[in-house]
Amino acid sequence: MLASLMQALPVLALVREVSPELAHCELTHLERARIDRLRAADQHRNYTQALEALGCTLEWLPPLPRHADSVFVEDTAVVLPELAVVTRPGAPSRQGETASVAQALARHLPVRSITAPGCLDGGDVLQVARTLYVGASARTNAEGIAQLGALLTPHGYRVQATTLAGCLHLKSACSFIPPALLLCNPAWIDPQAFGGLQALAVDEREPYAANTLTIGGTTLVSAAYPRTTQRLAAAGINTRTIEVGELHKAEGGLTCMSLLLGG
């Protein structure tokens, strides 16, 4: 009954089109490779259509053609039922992306903000029930984590700093698949840091496969990671694959390209 109710809840997905400057994106752990922008735009269109097929209503943020990474809207906010926290991205080139996100979110929720010297990327925040695990990464600092805790503790949430290594964001290393599964790359994070969740490791040949997006009862998985998809299926997870390979070249994953409200 609970699962069916969860699937029935409306989900609003904030998304933004691919910038024509995507090839000039920020990169930390990947070598720069040629990105076919038109193919990336096609893949993003398929991604947004997949969100709609899973019951999401899309709300398109204003395009930011001069911001190479602006399609990766997840990094600009942390969204909860009670409020939204607009972040201060750790890459200075991305800090101009947040104003339009704050404006859009304010139509739906109270909005608070991370301020200097705090830095926080939404891709470093993994919510499991009332706990938010926050990756202490190159893009998220201790002040940003402390500010997030101060904003959320009055609403009954716990914010826990989490160590990671070898990847850009916490959600590069793991994702939560309800009700109790943590898909992870144990080379990048310690799954024991996540309490009683059942850990499932990605295939060793697919180190970036841990970033998945679950909406209702379906988990979206990148088509680039068939071995990990097989592991999920064997664990009883209902999966749907989607091709986003050009966006992977910009260190993007499935959670990166939307901000979900509701559900």
> E strands within 9-139?
11-15, 56-60, 77-79, 84-86, 111-113, 125-128, 131-135
Q: Determine contact, residues 55/7, Cβ cutoff 8 Å.
A: yes
Task: Please state, in angstroms and rounded to a whole number, the distance separating the CA atoms of residues 230 and 208.
Answer: 15
User: Among all chains, which residue has been given the structure tokens 């990947």?
Assistant: 30
| Active-site position among 25, 56, 174, 256 | 256
Helix (H, G, I), strand (E, B) or coil at 108: coil
| Active-site position among 44, 67, 169, 248 | 169
Is 256 designated active site?
yes
Buried b (16+ CB within 10 A) or exposed e, 70-96: bbbbbbbbbbbeebbbbbbbbbeebbe
Enumerate the active-site residues: 169, 256
